Structure 1
Amino acid sequence: MLVFIFFGYLSINFPLTGDDLNWGITTLRDYFGSGRFLNYDGRYAGNSLIIMASHSAIFKVLSYAGITTLVVYLGARLISNVRQLERNTLLVLILMLTMSTELFAQVLGWNAGFFNYMAALVYPLIIVNLVKYHYSDWQAPKYLRYSILIVILSIISCFFVEHVTLLNLAIATILMGYMLYQKKKNYLVIANFIGTYIGGILMFSNRAYLNILLHHDGYSYRETSFSLSKIYHIIAQQMDFYLLINNPIITVLLAIILGYLIIKNLQKRSGNKWGTVVSYLELSVLIAFTEYHYILFNTLLKNFSHRYLVSCLLSILFLLVIIIEMTKLSLETHNIEYIALIVAAVVLVIPFFVVTPFGPRGAFASYFCLCLLVAALCDQLNAVKFSLPIIRIMMVMIVIFYAGLATRIGHASRIKNDFMTYQEKHNTPKDYRLYLEVPYNQYYWAVHPQAADNSYRGYYQIQTAGGKLVPYAKWRLIEKNTNSNAEMFSQVLKVDSQNK
């Protein structure tokens, strides 16, 4: 409940921005009735959610809070039993909220990003939880009646973002292969397989994907390229930064935990020469990756011409070390989730090797897999038990930070809208409009400058094209020295006229 309230509060205060506003001037009837959906993309569910959210504040808040709470809960549930659920939920939540600022802005600070990239995670987490805890139950004939629900949900799950749809298809295929290997009918696996493949076909039959592949897409920013130089550029200067380097908390924690596991294994097999050599090489990679990116990259090596090449190689080696160690841990513990999480994280970014654009939001699903992996490793090492007081303190600090941030952003956004209404009503100034700056724009995704945002003007039906930005510090000072919004608005206009 507290998690739901927290994210509900964030949603109340984070404004509609960018594509949110563009979706806000259309309706579901227009979207589906005009045939636009046939040529834009196959994200029918995600686009429908943002259209509804941009028209209903209540729906936006409840769905935003509900989806995020569900994702955090299902993620924590996947890595723990009921007794450990509360503490692992806190850990998953903390790790998720310590994501990079740009990742936060494009997923939690942007509704169009949220309803595609966050909402897409709900179904795969549901299906994996069902498989982990209730697989044998679904072999009973009485579960056949629930299969239709799984079919419907699995179809809908394919209408969010493409790389998660591909993950859903991979999960469905692996589960079907496992069922056939076991030679025991499982209604969950069958229903999920049928629904996911129907959904995948429906998504990728959208004409937009063929147009992108043939370079005929009407949206110039979307393209495919199999050029090795382009792939290298994406990996070296985008992918490794969005997923790993720009998220130092998760990567350093992974390096520390992996280092501990490697040293622990070294003590066990001191007589294994080749195993010892591999372990020392792995430790060297962990140290080199951390030191290179967080100490040398922007200091001593700032002018090094091949620094991105080295960064790319170290990032690949870092992921390889994780894969090797998680494979060994999964074999030792007979628990597949360790290797499954890191493989899922890698699989989720592979499509972006050839399909662009790849923004920070494209790395979110992989980042969340890394959060779950760290939480699972802490659970395995029983580290959470000893650090629970620290985790609680960190959670309180993070909540205070984001609540304070959201409060200031929400207040500024509402004042900005009220001031715009005031200017429209009084038609002043005559030739332009004043836009009160909403602060901390690094935490919410806004493509256009605030005083020249065509999407904002279209959504709020502002006819006057010209705009001037009033800095946050400037209008906040005026607000503190006035007694009402009307008085403040009048004073802002007066100051502007004096500065002409």
Structure 2
Amino acid sequence: MSKKTSGNSTLKKIFTIIMFGVSFIYFCAFRFLVIPSGDDYFWLGKMGKYLMNHMFYGPQATYGGSSNGRYLGNLLEIVTMHKLPVAILAYGIFWTLLLWCIWYLSKKTITSLLLSFLFIFTMQDAFINNILGWNAGFVNYVPPVVMGLIYIIVVNKGVAKKFVPIVSILLLLLGLAGGLFNEVWNITQLALGLLVLGYSYWKKDLKSYHITYFLGTIGSALIMFTHKGYHEASTYRKTSYTLSTIWDTYSKVTHFWLITFNLILLIAILLAIFVLAIKTKISSENKLAVSIFSVIFLIYYIIINNFFRNNFHLNPMYGYKTVRASIAVPESLVSIALMIFIGYCIWVFFKNDPKMWLYYLLTGVIAGQLLFVSSPVNSRGYFLSYVLMYLIGMKFVLSALNELRIKNYLINLILLATLIVCGYTYQSMMYANYHANLIRVSDPDYYNGKKELTKHVPYVKFVWFNDLMNQQNAPYWKNHIDTYKHILK
């Protein structure tokens, strides 16, 4: 290795370490500025304490959907609401780990590092509102997907490396823990374990930790779904196996979160597919079909997003209250066509990449589960699919950039500049929200219960349920101000 190459490698390592350090600090500061809402105060108070003392089981009439088998998600919610320093550390660690996993699974280059860090700035508003800006959403959805990605990293690394026996035990525990945050990932990690097990057996490369992880996911499912809360009549959770109900929910609500509203990611993927179609050596039939359809889908999604934004009103949960079937059905059919098209493009360009097929199949597993849910219907479950879609998008984009032969330093400078602007913008909006909230909750009449809040924070999408004001808690903010007044001055 030449001195120049060695020096570049050292600089890359230093830059990578600095970036992850900055990420951790950024997310820690972000969490301090998060305004809790709704369920956060439920778990903070007497109701949460009761459930914790009764293995998260309570009468349906009183506790509804909060009586569940999300043992680790519920526990982390309670701890982080009682201890802000723990909340800050957990938020910083898990968001940074998520970005690290995305980077690690995407070739570990500087370009992939910067694209990984842009992840949160590509998320649609529904994910910002329900995951990034809400403690209850974060604790139940970010840690489990991190655990799943860590398993994929271990499996990928294990192809060329032999692990010590303790890894099998650690992955058993990882499988047990990963499913105790939410029901969707609990079932998805079962599918993940089974897919890896089947593929490894087929390739004659079955390892002990493939088996122990899968056993852990089975144990996790048994622990969660034997919880008594799932075996009683519930006004909160409802499923439907009626095809008309499933189709109505998908066409009028859920496909927007799965596909349509992920506009930044869709543009990136479709542009990358177009570049690959033009630049790579594939059959003329594939070249023509893929390039034409990528352009058609690209134009369509830009137009349809603009159409919905200008003609329909989103409710505070980022879903349209009423969409005519004449609009919803064709739009949802296009979304299905797009999913098929992306699968076809994976086959054309990356047919021998097992990770791409794994992400694609797991996205279908997650979406497949949610098709049967008639209540509660929300965007949070689709965040897990979005992470996997982003990994698919990273592969397409990085491959397309490689084909374009643009100097790496130019691409990286543009990405770094974009990252700095986006990071500053989000942190500024959080800061503005936080101080606007401090002003409104510092009113003695609010503390004393004489009046309700009357003003929204400036950027409502960063507070759960678009800053529904009756979801705030005066005692929490009084205690917060008294505890951190030396910082807040």
Residue 72 of structure 1 aligns with an amino acid whose one-letter code is L
Maintained 8 Å contact 1:26/1:51: no
Residue in 2 that maps onto 1:329: 349
Maintained 8 Å contact 1:158/1:168: yes
Residue in 1 that maps onto 2:283: 269
Residue in 2 that maps onto 1:376: 395
Alpha-carbon offset, residue 28 of structure 1: 7.5
Alpha-carbon offset, residue 330 of structure 1: 2.0
CA–CA distance in structure 1, aligned partners of residues 446 and 456 of structure 2:
15
Structure 1: segments with no counterpart, 5+ residues = 463-484, 486-500
1:316 aligns with 2:299: no
Residue in 2 that maps onto 1:238: 253
Query: Where do 1:7-406 residues align within 5 Å?
Result: 7-26=27-46, 30-37=50-57, 40-81=67-108, 84=109, 86-138=110-162, 143-184=164-205, 186-211=207-232, 216-217=233-234, 220-264=235-279, 268-270=282-284, 275=286, 278-279=289-290, 282-283=293-294, 285-287=296-298, 289-290=300-301, 292-294=303-305, 306-331=326-351, 334-355=352-373, 356-383=375-402, 385=408, 386-406=410-430
1:419 aligns with 2:443: yes
Question: SS state of the match for residue 75, structure 1?
Answer: helix
Question: SS state of the match for residue 432, structure 1?
Answer: coil
Residue 269 of structure 1 aligns with an amino acid whose one-letter code is S
Maintained 8 Å contact 1:43/1:203: yes
Alpha-carbon offset, residue 368 of structure 1: 1.5
Aligned length, in residue pairs: 438
CA–CA distance in structure 1, aligned partners of residues 417 and 382 of structure 2:
28
CA–CA distance in structure 2, aligned partners of residues 90 and 276 of structure 1:
30
80 and 37 in structure 1: CA distance in 2 versus 1, 3 angstrom threshold = farther
Question: SS state of the match for residue 306, structure 1?
Answer: helix
Alpha-carbon offset, residue 236 of structure 1: 1.4
Question: SS state of the match for residue 137, structure 1?
Answer: coil
Query: Where do 1:470-481 residues align within 5 Å?
Result: none
Maintained 8 Å contact 1:289/1:318: no
CA–CA distance in structure 2, aligned partners of residues 124 and 172 of structure 1:
9
Maintained 8 Å contact 2:268/2:397: no
CA–CA distance in structure 2, aligned partners of residues 231 and 423 of structure 1:
44
Alpha-carbon offset, residue 20 of structure 1: 0.6
CA–CA distance in structure 1, aligned partners of residues 297 and 29 of structure 2:
39
Maintained 8 Å contact 1:163/1:348: yes
Question: Residues 97-117 of structure 1, C-alpha deviation per residue, up to 9 Å, x if partnerless?
Answer: 221122201001100000011
Question: SS state of the match for residue 473, structure 2?
Answer: helix
CA–CA distance in structure 1, aligned partners of residues 310 and 85 of structure 2:
48
CA–CA distance in structure 2, aligned partners of residues 15 and 255 of structure 1:
36
CA–CA distance in structure 2, aligned partners of residues 296 and 20 of structure 1:
35
CA–CA distance in structure 2, aligned partners of residues 296 and 419 of structure 1:
41
Alpha-carbon offset, residue 431 of structure 1: 4.4
CA–CA distance in structure 2, aligned partners of residues 163 and 361 of structure 1:
10
CA–CA distance in structure 1, aligned partners of residues 312 and 441 of structure 2:
46
87 and 437 in structure 1: CA distance in 2 versus 1, 3 angstrom threshold = same
Structure with larger Rg: 1
Residue 218 of structure 2 aligns with an amino acid whose one-letter code is Y
CA–CA distance in structure 2, aligned partners of residues 12 and 284 of structure 1:
42
Residue in 2 that maps onto 1:494: none
Question: Residues 289-320 of structure 1, C-alpha deviation per residue, up to 9 Å, x if partnerless?
Answer: 33551455667999986111110111110111
Question: SS state of the match for residue 232, structure 1?
Answer: helix
Residue 431 of structure 2 aligns with an amino acid whose one-letter code is T
Question: SS state of the match for residue 457, structure 2?
Answer: coil
Residue in 2 that maps onto 1:480: none
Maintained 8 Å contact 2:175/2:220: yes
Alpha-carbon offset, residue 168 of structure 1: 0.8
CA–CA distance in structure 2, aligned partners of residues 419 and 162 of structure 1:
40
Maintained 8 Å contact 2:140/2:182: yes
With 116-125 and 441-450 compared, the bigger mean Cα shift is at: 441-450
Question: Residues 339-381 of structure 1, C-alpha deviation per residue, up to 9 Å, x if partnerless?
Answer: 3223322222211101132312121111122222222222223
Maintained 8 Å contact 2:80/2:86: yes
Question: SS state of the match for residue 37, structure 1?
Answer: coil
Maintained 8 Å contact 1:349/1:363: yes
Question: Residues 97-153 of structure 1, C-alpha deviation per residue, up to 9 Å, x if partnerless?
Answer: 221122201001100000011112111110000111124534x6xx22332222122
| TM, length-normalised to structure 1 | 0.79
Structure 2: segments with no counterpart, 5+ residues = 1-20, 61-66, 314-322, 480-484
Maintained 8 Å contact 2:275/2:400: no
Residue in 2 that maps onto 1:474: none
